[in-house]
Amino acid sequence: MDYGLTGTVAIVGGSSSGMGEATARALAAEGCRVVLYARRGELLEEVAKRIAAETGTETLAAPADATDHAALDLVVERALERFGRLDILVNNAGGPPAGGYESFSDADWQAAYELTLLSALRITRRALPALRESGRGRIVNLTSSAVKETNDGLLLSNTFRPGVIGWAKAISRDEARHGITVNSIAPGYIATERLVQLYSSEEDPDAAMKRDADTIPAGRFGDPDEIAAAVAFLCSTGAAYINGTTLLVDGGLARGLLS
């Protein structure tokens, strides 16, 4: 299937590793020029060069902290200066710390809000004029299965990730007239650095991971490339009539009829 991405330009957040890196690679493989941003600048440069070499598609590393408003503005500015257009925005930032209600101070709540919700709002606001001009704009938010079913021990994520979905649904209706679709992907257990970090507090991390993998109908954790494939499809011309949706990618774990 031709996704119609040749010659387009995308910004992908959190793209120095995990699902962000896999998404940047998947889009580049379809001929989309990719601007990668994340905090770890040196690693980001290496990833961008590697993706360009593997796919033959031009990339640009734009180091930025998702909680820094000015830095996010600069990412969009650099994309437009380098490529002259913007067609796709993939909002993806690292998850907030694990813990329960009594674990967090007001500062922790504010930091999680900045990272998980406000970062997506900020960069999207800056990117919207160019996405409207594109005429085939795509916004895809990488969130979490917590937007469908709360996850034990991840209160900050349970609180702010659903806010992303509410915001995305609202702007999907406003921006559809400009040819922009706004969709979200809710990953379940995906084999990333974040997942390893979450299990590190277990007495036996390997046993705990196997225990949870066995509860998934697919019998395993997902691969970042499987999330990236879903993103690439939602960014395609063939997905132009899919708008305002949240796609759960969890190997069949969720039991809800509307999950």
pLDDT tens per residue across all 259 residues of the chain: 799 999 999 999 999 999 999 999 999 999 999 999 999 999 999 999 999 999 999 999 999 999 999 999 999 999 999 999 999 999 999 888 888 888 899 999 999 999 999 999 999 999 999 999 999 999 999 999 989 888 888 899 999 999 999 999 999 999 999 999 999 999 999 999 888 888 888 889 899 899 999 999 999 999 999 999 999 999 999 999 999 999 999 999 998 877 7
User: 99: domain range?
Assistant: 9-190+223-249
Closest to 130 in 3D by CA, of 178, 174, 171, 176: 178
Is there a domain that residue 165 lies in?
A: yes
CATH at residue 58: 3.40.50.720
In this prediction the pTM is 0.95
Q: 222 pairs with which residues across the strands?
A: 190
Is there a domain that residue 130 lies in?
A: yes
Number of domains in the chain: 1
State the CB neighbour count (10 A cutoff) for residue 94.
19
CA distances from 67 to 39, 94, 116 (A): 10, 11, 9
Give Cβ neighbours of residue 178 (< 8 Å, ≥ 6 apart): 131, 132, 135, 137
Is there a domain that residue 257 lies in?
A: no
Closest to 2 in 3D by CA, of 238, 200, 168: 238
